[in-house]
Structure 1
Amino acid sequence: MSALARFLFGRRARLRWIHLILGGALAMPYVLVGSVVVGPFTGVDDVFGSLTLQLASFAVGLPLAAITSLFPLTRPLEAGVVRSLCGVEADRLAYGPARSKGEKGRTAAWFTLHLGVGGIVAGMSLAVPPFAAFLIVLPFVPALRDGRPGLPGPLDGAWGLALAPLAGAVTLVALAGCAAGCGALLARWAPALLGPSAEDRVAAAEARAADLAVRNRLARELHDSVGHALSAVTLQASAARRVLDSDPRFVREALAAIEETTRRTVGELDAVLGVLRDGDAPGTAPAPTLADDLDGLLDRTRAGGLRVSANVAADPRTLPPAVSREAYRIVQEGLSNALRHAGERVTVAVGVDVLDGHLRITLENPLAGTGPTGTVAPRPGGGHGLRGIADRARVLGGSARAGPVGRIWRLEVRLPLGRTP
């Protein structure tokens, strides 16, 4: 019973009833136009004095409603009302103007259906409650039946009068059931008539994919630049603290490296976040490349206490900009991994050369330690950086491999050049 009561009189049923009454209100101008046609055609001056002529005016007005539904704002407005009053999920509706013939046809069908069913339910909502109230109070108000020979036959007898309140209550429940059923049907049909077309779904999927790609790219940029900077600054500050009293020169160099690292990272961070600021121009700091800052990157890493040997056989100035930019981030992330995981006083070997039309980047460093049996201990932590390196390589059509080779951790990335520099 409670489920039936919610279906008939619950909040969703009431909102859908309001939706139907709005449809009836929207239908009235079309009914008036229809009466202008039906009246002269039938020769009747008072069209609204006859239920049959009212229905005829209603039938004439609905095709006019279908024509006016081609107005561009019809589908967005109807979709918004359906979402708010009928309880249809937002992602199942389309909010742009109908453009194709199919979309216009479905919008016209929905608008006609809304006004047609809404007009009938609205008319019933105006006529039935007064009649039901009359039946409910009829046995208790003699003035309503005294001297009224026009009362229906069943109401003239004692049993008729006794059952009149029940009949009135049943009539009201029937009206609520009719409104709830019509509202539920319209809510069920709304996604099919007002929902996105196949083209809309493809466009939405492409927009989501493009947005996800931008978010992933920004996440990689932030991870690589900020993560590397924090790792380098942490080690530089730690090294400076340990030799603060014994080696002031090294401390000054470490502080200078910290200053330079943070300055560059703030500039890169501003450039990345500029993309996220609605209405703001992107930041002015350019994306770093091998040609611009490979030497600086290696120097700042060495200032953190990590020994780096570099063998750069390829000329960074001849690399395509996209390859040079992604290669810089790959080297940066590889050094960050070494800073975090390789341990202190190790040497990282960085190699950049050209092999078989690909830019090959290699980073090698000793593993952090060995287990009690002499086997190589697993590399702790990490994971996100290596996935980011693999993603960068895959975007350019390249490949990335990382893992232990004996007692050495080796990262090898190949990026296609398209031509040999």
Structure 2
Amino acid sequence: MRKGEPDGAEDKAGAGPRAGRAGAGAAVRGGLGRLFGPRARLRWVHLILGGALLMPYFLLTQVAVGILAGGVNVLASTPLTFIAYGVSVPLAALTAVFGPVRPLSVAAVRAMCGVPGELLAEGPDRSWAARGRAAAWWSLHLGLGAAVSGMSLAVPPMAVVLIALPFFSSLQRVREGPVWLSALASPYTAPFLGIGLLAGLVLCAAGAGVLLARAAPRLLGPTAADRLAAAEERAADLAVRNRLARELHDAVGHALSAVTLQAVAARRVLDSDPAFVREALAAIEDTTRRTVGELDAVLGLLRDGDPGRPDAAPAPTLAADLDGLLARTRASGTTVTAHEDPGPAGDWAQIPAIASREAYRIVQEGLSNALRHGAGPVELRIAVQETTDGKGSAHRELEITMTNPPGAGDGPAARSTGGRGLHGAAERAALLGGRVEAGPHRGLWRLRAVLPLGAGAR
């Protein structure tokens, strides 16, 4: 350390060269990794597989070119060999248009070329544009693969001979092969030429692998039809999940609300009205038993997606389950006045089954909403009405109207239509082409649903 320099100045002065050497070493290691690393080796194998896949096409075109050339051996003529190679590549592309090339290629690229899966298409070709791109990929893969495979077979033995040439006099007397190779393969230059050939082979293989990896997202990536199909699949899956969520919410949510109110009412009169307590406990038992059956049916859909299996509990309907629903709600201490008018059919069993099921769930959600938020008697009206459109055609509608006073501190404005249950009721009605309205009406809270039954509904 020179006089006047602070402590550590010498270390700092040497840090720059050391950092530069470390950076250069890291760059060298990175370059070697790109040439000889696991990914580079897998891409090389992927190219060799492409060359093997081109071999049947090449053998076929080799025979055809040999016949057209007068029955000569194509492999004995370099020009004819390249002609056969040039014809075999478009022939492979033609067959790729009609085969399952894209899904097989996508699987191979994802496993061997290091291309992220989200950049590649899933499933079979859905359009001619996708098939054309797959055919272009097939041509590129098999064409480059054949070239790299040929070099991988020819270059290493040639390089070994050149590297060993200075050490074996018998090899020095052999002058067969290309003229340029015989001129350059002197005992002094042959080892360098052999090493250069090996290096060239590695560089060509690595470059071809990188080219395929960069071309894969363009040629094997999702098309507009693929994205549309994926979006439709996600929408269908979301629709199923929303339907199951509605079933769980309506069945379990209503049961929990009813059981809670029944238990509270029974606790309050436990000593003074044993008969009411017994009635409330019976209602709780019935509610939980029915809810367990509905829950099992929904969980069965989640397990195997089969709503029609023999052990599945039937979905509740107006005809079979409305009276029980009203009785369980009244057992909680809430007064429910029901007005039912099935219309000309005279029986709820005569309306379409799907309308009966969805109407039951809408009534169930309305009662559950009233139990949670209301503070007074509930008035329910269910009626089949006949309407006439502008063309004079008669149509029947099922109208459900439920009103109840708002609870204390939870006025009509506070209970918005943003609840999941009311959203689910609106979705149920929309599936049938109907509508649901919920909100304050003349000082009360009103839920009104209209479900079309069709012109010929009975």
User: What range is the shorter-chain TM-score in?
Assistant: 0.7 to 0.9
CA distance in 2, matches of 1:387, 1:91: 36
Is 1:27 equivalent to 2:59 in the alignment?
no
- TM-score, length-scaled by structure 1: 0.79
Q: Which moved more, 1:111-120 or 1:66-75?
A: 66-75
Q: How much has 1:156 moved relative to structure 2?
A: 4.8
Q: How much has 1:207 moved relative to structure 2?
A: 4.2
2:446 is aligned, of 388, 410, 414, to: 410
CA distance in 2, matches of 1:72, 1:31: 18
- State the number of aligned residues: 409
CA distance in 1, matches of 2:378, 2:233: 42
| Correspondence for 2:379 | 349
Aligned 8 A contact 1:128 1:171 in 2: no
- Residues 35-84 of structure 1, C-alpha deviations (whole Å, 9 max, x = no match): 33344544676543444333233234335434544664444433432333
Q: How much has 1:331 moved relative to structure 2?
A: 0.9
Is 1:287 equivalent to 2:315 in the alignment?
yes
Aligned residue runs from structure 1 range 265-344, under 5 A: 265-278=291-304, 281-282=308-309, 283-315=311-343, 317=348, 319-342=351-374
Aligned residue runs from structure 1 range 190-229, under 5 A: 190-191=219-220, 195=222, 198=225, 202-229=228-255
Secondary structure of the 1:36 match is helix
What's the % identity of the aligned pairs? 53
Aligned residue runs from structure 1 range 153-192, under 5 A: 153=183, 156=186, 167=196, 170-191=199-220
Q: How much has 1:295 moved relative to structure 2?
A: 1.6
| Correspondence for 2:436 | 400
| Correspondence for 2:23 | none
Aligned 8 A contact 2:89 2:139 in 1: yes
Aligned 8 A contact 1:308 1:348 in 2: yes
1:121 is aligned, of 142, 145, 148, to: 148
1:366 is aligned, of 395, 398, 405, to: 405
- The AA in structure 2 aligned to 1:238 is V
- Cα RMSD (Å) of the superposition? 3.9
Q: CA distance change for structure 1 residues 184 and 322 in 2, over 3 Å: closer, same or farther?
A: same
CA distance in 1, matches of 2:169, 2:421: 86
Q: Which runs of 5+ in 1 are unaligned?
A: none
Q: How much has 1:308 moved relative to structure 2?
A: 1.8
- Residues 76-130 of structure 1, C-alpha deviations (whole Å, 9 max, x = no match): 433432333342536842533x687666555544433322221112222333445
Q: How much has 1:260 moved relative to structure 2?
A: 1.8
1:147 is aligned, of 158, 164, 172, to: 172
Aligned 8 A contact 1:370 1:376 in 2: no
Q: How much has 1:415 moved relative to structure 2?
A: 2.5
Aligned 8 A contact 2:44 2:206 in 1: no
Q: CA distance change for structure 1 residues 209 and 170 in 2, over 3 Å: closer, same or farther?
A: same
CA distance in 2, matches of 1:176, 1:105: 26
Q: How much has 1:218 moved relative to structure 2?
A: 2.2
| Correspondence for 1:231 | 257
Q: How much has 1:28 moved relative to structure 2?
A: 1.8
